[in-house]
Amino acid sequence: MVDNIKVSGTLIESYLICKRQAWFHLHKIIPFQDHPFLEIGRLIDETTYERDLKRINLESVQIDFIKTKEGEIVVGEIKKSSKSKDIAKMQLLYYLKVLKDLGVPSKGILSFPTERRREFVELTTEDEEKLKRIVKEIENLSNESFPPPLEKIPFCKNCAYKEFCFS
Amino acid sequence: MNEIIYIFKSGRLARKDNTIYFENDGERKFIPVENTKEIHIFGEITLNKDVLEFLSQKEIILHFYNYYEYYVGSFYPREHYNSGYITVSQARHYLDTNLRVSLAKKFVFGSISNMEKVVRYYNNRGVNLENILANLRNLKDNLDSIVDIPTLLALEGKSREIYYDSFNEILKDSQFFMDKRTRRPPKDSINALISFGNSLMYTTILSQIYKTHLDPRIGYLHESNFRSFSLNLDVSEIFKPIIVDRVIFSLVNRGVIGVDFFDKRLNGIYLSENGAKEFVKAFDERLNSTISHKTLGRNVSYRTLIRLELYKIEKHIIGENVYEPFISEW
């Protein structure tokens, strides 16, 4: 049982990738930290966007970087690859929603430094409704006694929980 | 690839900026902190808090052994895989007798099954051990009816006694004859090898527990109340026959370790420094050797296999899967 959960951005991402992974996160069963992809992620985080404000903790979310552009606040999310762009986008939109709820309207920038690509995103009412539904579902998931059963999906291949799930 | 470092010499472990080194007779040996996850210390060393702080930051465990090569204790840095949920589930399985006994039984079942594998291997190669196999099978069949820990421990002890009878048949060198199992101090060479190997097994498993969410202080077969770590002892039961004992047979039967690799100290017989080095080398090789893992679909080293075994225990205590111990295929 998890009480008073605060939904973080990574939790939104996890939930959309694999509900089982989200359940683990909710129970603080963190993935194997020596996994090469996690190490790559940490390296990208350390070496990119050095000039901008980095890793901002706001309420429950941790934002990769924030900068201002022509008087507007731009929130950035850094990803290793654009493979699951739609999921990364939802994560970023969630930050925009949290900021909006705090009275700080902002725009988002999705960044893939290793691909030298980026994309701007804006929050719509439709997105907000969708995010509200996802948060509710995550809250329900946190009350589940057992993790959702193992289901082999393409994400398993590079997942840092793979050894846990398949042991 | 994670490195395991064993220090036999005496000297000083010190920090230099963002790395650590071992100094002995003015000679400095730097330790690669990013790849090292455990350091086993057999020599007499001095170190300071600065080193411990740095090791803690790098999540490196230190295991200490005394002059007699007995495990003394570990510097177990602040836990980095914290899950209150897992800890509470782990404790619940300890406090509820039924849950505790059923999990403890799995360790004994795994232990006896792996002993059988080892014995059968030699039985199939011309050493007649049918009697021992029959006795082990018999004990394993009795497991079902056990409802309390003391009876279970007694059965476990009995199985090991029977199993050790096979050693005199398996070991070709009569100088490694075992009269009976003796500890603290070991009375002969074979007992010295078993004690040393078991100590290494306990610390190796402790190092793997550190990489999981489990708390090493809560064990099931071994009593948690009277020692600091006990889960590693439980899990060791499964791996001792296939790792420690196989290393012993291989070292003795190939003649790598002979009786001149032992010292007599304080009424007992212990591995000499050279003997310990040879043992550690073979032990490490064994842990790094790989086997194919069916559900993971790739080869894993025995060291990784231990971590996977711990994950299975985690999944058992959170109620996801019933734990079934690893049983060697050969």
Burial tier of B221 (Cβ tally within 10 Å: 0-12, 13-18, 19+) = buried
Please check whether residue B265 is in contact with residue B292, taking contact to mean a CB–CB distance below 8 angstroms.
no
Interface probe with B: pick from A29, A32, A144, A159, most Cβ of B within 10 Å? A29
Nearest to B296 among A32, A34, A166 (CB): A166
Q: Which residue in chain A has the smallest CA separation from B296?
A: A166
Q: Compute the nearest-CA separation of A164 from chain B (Å).
A: 6
Beta carbons within 8 Å of B252's beta carbon, 6+ residues apart? B171, B172, B173, B176, B193
B196 residue type, one letter: F
CA distances from B172 to B176, B275, B281, B313 (A): 8, 18, 22, 38
B154 — phi, psi (to 5°)?
A: -65, -45
B27 — phi, psi (to 5°)?
A: -100, 130
A75-96: string of b/e by CB count within 10 Å (b at 16+)? bbbbbbebebeebbbbbbbbbb
Confidence check: pLDDT of B313 > 70: yes
- ipTM of this predicted structure: 0.85
pLDDT at A2: 45
pLDDT tens, position by position, B233-253? 999 999 999 999 999 999 999
Q: Which residue in chain A has the smallest CA separation from B211?
A: A32
Contact B83 A28 (CB under 8 A): yes
Q: What is the pLDDT along chain A (167 residues), one digit of tens a residue?
A: 444 568 888 899 999 999 999 999 999 999 998 887 777 777 777 777 777 777 777 777 788 888 887 888 888 888 888 888 899 999 999 999 988 888 888 899 998 888 889 899 999 999 999 999 999 999 999 999 999 999 999 999 989 999 999 99
Q: Residue B290's beta-bridge partner residues?
A: B301
Beta carbons within 8 Å of B78's beta carbon, 6+ residues apart? B56
pLDDT at A1: 42
Number of CB atoms found within 10 A of residue B135's CB: 17
Helices B97-123 & B302-317 angle (0-180, nearest 10): 150
- B127 at interface of A, judged by CB pairs closer than 8 A: no
Please check whether residue B156 is in contact with residue B237, taking contact to mean a CB–CB distance below 8 angstroms.
yes
B25 φψ region: left (φ > 0), alpha (ψ -120 to 50), beta (else): left
Nearest to B213 among A29, A34, A147 (CB): A29
Burial tier of B108 (Cβ tally within 10 Å: 0-12, 13-18, 19+) = buried
> Rounded to 5 degrees, what angle do the CA atoms B181, B187, B192 make?
75
Query: In chain B, what residues touch A34 (CB-CB under 8 Å)?
Result: 2, 211
Q: Rounded CA gap, B170 and B241, in Å?
A: 13
> Rounded to 5 degrees, what angle do the CA atoms B284, B285, B287 make?
65
Please check whether residue B205 is in contact with residue B235, taking contact to mean a CB–CB distance below 8 angstroms.
yes
Confidence check: pLDDT of B220 > 80: yes
pTM: predicted TM-score of the whole model, two decimal places: 0.89
Bond preceding residue A31 cis, omega within 30 of 0 = no
Q: Rounded CA gap, B63 and B51, in Å?
A: 14
Helices B302-317 & B189-209 angle (0-180, nearest 10): 60
CA distances from A105 to A64, A66, B210 (A): 17, 13, 43
Q: Which residue in chain B has the smallest CA separation from A39?
A: B34
**Please, which pLDDT band fits residue B75 given cuts at 50, 70 and 90?**
very high
Q: Residue B5's beta-bridge partner residues?
A: B39
B31 — phi, psi (to 5°)?
A: -110, 125
More confident residue, A58 or B312: B312
Contact B296 A164 (CB under 8 A): no
Q: Compute the nearest-CA separation of A38 from chain B (Å).
A: 14
Contact B307 A163 (CB under 8 A): yes
* Mean predicted confidence (pLDDT) in B14-26: 91
Nearest to B319 among A30, A145, A167 (CB): A145
pLDDT tens, position by position, B84-122? 999 999 999 999 999 999 999 999 999 999 999 999 999
Among B187, B215, B200, CA closest to B83: B215
pLDDT tens, position by position, B167-181? 999 988 778 787 777
Q: Rounded CA gap, A93 and B306, in Å?
A: 41
Contact B295 A166 (CB under 8 A): yes
Please check whether residue B281 is in contact with residue B182, taking contact to mean a CB–CB distance below 8 angstroms.
no
Query: In chain A, what residues touch B85 (CB-CB under 8 Å)?
Result: 2, 27-29
Please check whether residue A95 is in contact with residue A60, taking contact to mean a CB–CB distance below 8 angstroms.
no
Confidence check: pLDDT of B196 > 50: yes
Interface probe with A: pick from B207, B310, B318, B323, most Cβ of A within 10 Å? B318
What count of CB pairs under 8 Å joins A to B?
Answer: 50
